[in-house]
Chains A and B, each alone.
Chain A
Amino acid sequence: MRLELAKRPQHSKLFSALSPFIAFVLTVIAGAVLFALLGKSPGAALYAYFITPLTDLWSLHELAIKAAPLILIGVGLAVCYLSNNWNIGAEGQFVMGAVVGAMLPILYPGLQQSPLALPVMLLMGALGGAAYAAIPAFLKARFNTNEILTSLMLVYVAQLFLDWLVRGPWRDPAAMNFPQAPRFTGYAVLPELLPASGRANIGILFALVAAVLLWVLLTRTKKGFEIRVIGMSPRAGRFAGFSTRGAIFFSFLLSGALAGLAGISEVSGAIGRLQPSISPGYGFAAIIVAFLGRLNPLGIVAAGVVLALTYLGGEVAQIEVGVSDKVVRAFQGLLLFFVLACDTLIHYRIRFVPSERPAAVLPEAKSDA
């Protein structure tokens, strides 16, 4: 007995729309089982995980802080994935954006007194992320290298580079030998939105503006059309006169720039300085955000909030229920698994094939004569 996936002649539009919600419900059910197996009360654990973070104003601010980079990176990745370019290295582009943006306050601390400091840093951060994303883009366009591997491997290069910087040349001499760079001051700090009630900063506004702009780009402009055509059918894209290489660079540079902007926003806002680790895996979680949001920038805003909740809920559950913080990763993994499984089952159905049947099915190879 073996399983086969058979393509459905038509896929249900209704279930396509419901898929993220079904996936979320399945994740919650699987989470309940997970907590029960750990010997915790599923009801209390799930309440701590998904409801408690929403009950006070302070943690809504934290939600915005976590959602901002997820949305910003997620909408960029959506453009990549729609054009069939698999940028898995947003985490590295996030780090490099933070490093390049931080050059200004660290190397020229005096410039932090200028009101232009922040816009210049943000621009440098975006350029840094884009430049780092240009590496896998170039390798793919020029040598047909698999971008999944190259962009993923470059994540570790970026992380180790940051680690070296903050332990070596950029270490703050006044930091009692802690591996961290000097704290940003003055105009180099990302302003807070409503300082009275919490520490959310204007990063969430960048995320919302980027989501709206990319939604317009993808649904209303020729560039968005070009990206979708190349993603769906490269041969038809060439017939239309669209450049596949152009789409590789466009999508990688755009998603790299947004990841870099998220990176510099994170260090100049929520963290306030460079340190060995500046991300709890935003660049990877944003892949889940992109798919949970159905690669639609507006859907990604909602998905970003859900994923942000898994981070916050993990912290609460750790404190109140006493589960490991690894449960956050487990939840995120479950969510991605269920989203992809739902999407697969919308397009395919499972067929049980009895094993006694010899493998006599004709090979499916097509000869393009």
Chain B
Amino acid sequence: MGIELAGGPAKEPGLLLDVRGLTKVFGSLIACNHVDLQIAKGEIHALLGENGAGKSTLVKMLFGTLAPNAGEILWNGKQVRIGSPGEARRLGIGMVFQHFSLFEALTAAENIALSLDSTTPISAIAAKAKELSQSYGLPLDPGSLVGDLSVGERQRIEIIRCLLQEPDLIILDEPTSVLTPQEADKLFETLERLRGEGKSILYISHRLEEVQRICDRATVLRHGKVVAHCNPRQETAGSLARMMVGGDVHEVHREHPDHVEGAPLIEIRNLSQAPKGPFSMPLKDISLTVRAGEVVGIAGVAGNGQGEFFDAVSGEAVQADPATVRIRSIDAGTLGITGRRLLGAGFVPEERLGHGAVPGMKLSDNMLLARHRSDAKAFLGGGALGFIRRDAIEATTKRVVEEMDVRKSAEDPEASALSGGNLQKFIIGRELDRKPSVLVVNQPTWGVDAGAAARIRQALIDLTRSGSAVIVISQDLDELFEIADRIAVMAHGEMSQTIPIQGATREKIGLLMGGADTGAH
């Protein structure tokens, strides 16, 4: 199975990749509809679009993991058919994935060796990786165990792995979503250096500021179609966002109160916890009080204990001392998640599928999942037998779907059939509908499109206005600056003091996120 070469149509000079009319159909959904994309040699090209706009599908076709239904790909002016990632690499296309594919128990060099076709000894690979890491300003020790590395360092492994194959085109999928602002700056320097060497980069991102900062041209996708080719530097963030969503993005309305005098609704006192496994973070003496009417944001780079903190607060991991977690002034440390829900708390975990919702179950079943005790009177009958009252659950599901504008294809679809943003709106709506006095949300808008994200943020603000306390754990600093009244930072299982939003700057937060990070290595 080789690469089919055919006499291409008229060459456009300087074009590395020329995609014409690429189309991919899944059943009744046209994921990519006659997409055109031109990438010149030595340019950083942005691919913009909301979730579900067809970015991933397009990239998968370029990297050979999906076969297009129609259209052609011209590489250096010659028509090619990319049948597998191996063929893409041989052409000179490299890819750095959003979700890393690394083995935690192996070293950086071993991970790199795994993806190479050749039988080069690992020591030679390590030496080459070291050389590349120095020349591109990507500090990395090839002998270190991946499990011990920060997310930023793991990304560097992926980038070096990609560079080792000397690609002409590098595809980066949401590369900064896991980085501190300082780490992102370093990445941008590397990208500019690569551009200087004549390499081309396809940069996929939601973050308009970054795109404007480093990208030469942009292709904007909406509902599988190209809606614009533009120069992002001649656009404003607002105009780019309008192209992406096809309308004005709803701005979150709020006023920051000077100080909050509400009653403390959730108090965490000296929460410590040993790590649960070799790659899990300990929690070190965390204390935090959130009052009625305020949003406290928890910033931090992924994997610094936020997941463990969420589990400890939600009661999926219980504490030995009841006073460690107090909800509405009642000791709740020894209560499980059901007991804490009954005290008026609601929780939204980071993983939508498989944690916040069962992928293969209908939305109405997923409604029952989180509310089988708090709404036992409405949802269950028959006393101890616990007969499920489908009509009541379906009515509540319908109410939440309407309230949060959840878009779905069937009356009561399985959770996995919804797009990420719509499922997240449902999961958050499921908790909001209970009017919880405390809501703890981990990554509320991770991978959610701009329209849905704005709606979710507004809903969180509205909840605090009605007198509830909200904790938002997020890696997205823009989001925290938009909705939080105070921000604390988690690094290596420790939590900083909260900083009132009026006194917080991105630099200050970024240093707290990254400072502790470098301190440990």
Interface residues of chain A, those whose CB is within 8 Å of chain B, are 9-10, 220-223, 225, 228-229, 232-233, 235-236, 238-241, 354, 356-369
Q: Please, which residues of chain B bring their CB within 8 A of the CB of A361? A: 84-86
For the complex of A and B, 5 pairs with smallest distance between CB atoms: A241-B338, A222-B386, A369-B303, A360-B86, A358-B117
Q: Give min CB distance, A363 to chain B, whole Å.
A: 6
Looking at A10, A360, A365, the one whose CB has the most chain B CB atoms below 10 A away is A360
Residue of B nearest to A230 (CB): B358
User: Provided the pairs A222-B386, A233-B359, A236-B356 are in contact, do residues A364 and B101 lie with their beta carbons within 8 angstroms?
Assistant: yes
Evaluate contact between B337 and A239: CB separation under 8 angstroms: yes
Binding site of B, secondary structure by majority: helix, strand, loop or mixed?
loop
Contact A235 B101 (CB under 8 A): no
A10 to B387, CA, bound (A): 31
Chain A residues lying within 8 Å of B382, measured Cβ to Cβ, are 221
- B residues 371-424 near A (Cβ < 8 Å) are 372-373, 380, 382, 385-388
Contact partner of B341 (CB less than 8 A), chosen from A229, A232, A241, A356, is A241
B185: shortest Cβ distance to chain A, in Å?
20
**Is B104 interfacial (CB-CB < 8 Å)?**
yes
* Apart from the given pairs A361-B84, A367-B146, 15 other A-B contacts in the complex at a CB distance below 8 Å: A221-B387, A222-B380, A233-B354, A233-B355, A236-B357, A239-B337, A239-B355, A240-B370, A241-B341, A363-B102, A363-B111, A367-B100, A367-B102, A367-B154, A369-B303
A369: contacting residue among B111, B154, B369, CB under 8 A: B154
In-complex Cβ contact of B361 among A10, A229, A358 (8 A):
A229
- Whether B102 contacts A357 by the Cβ 8 Å rule is no
| Overall SS of chain A's interface | loop
User: Contacts A225-B365, A239-B370, A241-B341; is A363 near B354 (CB within 8 Å)?
Assistant: no
* Chain A to chain B contacts (Cβ below 8 Å), 16 pairs: A10-B27, A221-B387, A232-B360, A233-B358, A233-B360, A240-B370, A354-B1, A357-B86, A359-B117, A360-B85, A360-B116, A363-B102, A363-B114, A364-B101, A367-B154, A369-B154
User: How many interface contacts (CB-CB < 8 Å) are there between A and B?
Assistant: 114
Do residues A240 and B1 form an inter-chain contact, with CB atoms below 8 A? no
The residue that B336 contacts in the complex, of A228, A241, A364, A365, with Cβ under 8 A, is A241
Q: Closest residue of chain A to B303, judged by CB?
A: A369
Q: Which of B134-155 contact A (CB under 8 A)?
A: 146, 151, 154
Chain A nearest CB from B374 CB (Å) reads: 10
Using A232-B358, A357-B1 as known contacts, say yes or no to A239 and B372 having CB atoms under 8 A apart: no
Chain A residues with CB under 8 Å of B101's CB are 362-367
Partner of B117, one of A9, A222, A241, A360: A360
Q: Which residues in B have their C-beta under 8 angstroms from that of A240?
A: 337, 369-370, 372
Q: Could you tell me the distance between the alpha carbons of A357 and B97 in the complex, rounded to whole angstroms? A: 22
CA distance A190 to B260 in the complex (A): 74
Does B178 have its Cβ within 8 Å of any Cβ on chain A? yes
Chain A residues near B373 (CB-CB < 8 A): 241
Contact mask for chain B residues 103-119; partner A; CB cutoff 8 A; 1 contact, 0 none = 11000000100111100
Q: Name the residue among B315, B373, B386 with the largest chain A CB count within 10 angstroms.
A: B386
**Most-contacted residue by chain B among A229, A235, A240 (CB, 10 A):** A240
Which of A222, A223, A225, A229 has the most chain B CB atoms inside 10 A of its CB? A222
Q: In the complex, which of the residues A238, A359, A362 has the most CB atoms of chain B within 10 Å of its own CB atom?
A: A362
Q: Which of A229, A236, A241, A360 sits near B115, CB closer than 8 Å?
A: A360
Taking CB as reference atom, which chain B residue is nearest A240?
B369
A217 to chain B, nearest CB (A): 9
CB contacts (< 8 Å) of B338 on chain A: these are 241
Scan B327-340; emit 1 where CB is below 8 A from any A CB, else 0: 00000000011100
C-alpha spacing A21/B62, complex, angstroms: 42
B86–A358 CB distance below 8 A: yes
Q: Which of B103, B154, B279, B337 contacts A238 (CB 8 A)?
A: B337
The proximity string for B residues 90-134 relative to A, scoring 1 for CB distances below 8 Å and 0 otherwise, is 000000010111111000000100111100000000000000000
Known: A236-B354, A236-B355, A361-B86. A369 touches B146 (CB 8 A): no
Query: Chain A: which residue is nearest B356 at the CB level?
Result: A239
CB nearest neighbor in A for B369 = A240
CB distance from A170 to the nearest CB of B (A): 40
The reply to whether A229 and B358 form a contact with Cβ atoms under 8 Å apart is: yes
Residue B302 lies at the interface, judged by CB distance under 8 Å to chain A: yes
Residues 2-21 of B, flagged 1 when their CB comes within 8 A of A and 0 if not, give 00000000000000000000
The smallest C-beta distance from B304 to any residue of chain A, in angstroms, reads: 9
Contact flag A229-B1 (CB < 8 Å), given A221-B388, A367-B102: no
Instruction: Decide: A362 and B151 in contact? CB cutoff 8 A.
Output: no
B89 is an interface residue with CB less than 8 A from chain A? yes
For the complex, give the distance between the alpha carbons of A115 and B469 in Å.
64
- Could you tell me if A222 and B388 are in contact, using CB atoms closer than 8 angstroms? yes
Min CB distance, A236 to chain B, in Å? 5
Chain B minimum-CB-distance residue to A364? B101
Known: A220-B387, A221-B388. A239 touches B369 (CB 8 A): yes
Q: Which residues of chain B come closer than 8 Å to A229, judged between CB atoms? A: 358, 361, 369
User: Taking each of A232, A233, A357, A364, which has the highest tally of chain B beta carbons within 10 Å of its own beta carbon?
Assistant: A233
Complex formed: what's the CA distance from A233 to B356 in Å? Answer: 10
Closest to B314 in A: A239
In the complex the two chains form, what is the Cα distance from A240 to B360 in whole Å? 15
B residues 348-367 in Cβ contact with A at 8 Å: 349, 351, 354-361, 365
- Complex Cα gap A364–B279 (Å): 18
Residues of B within 8 A of A222 (CB): 368, 372, 380, 386-388
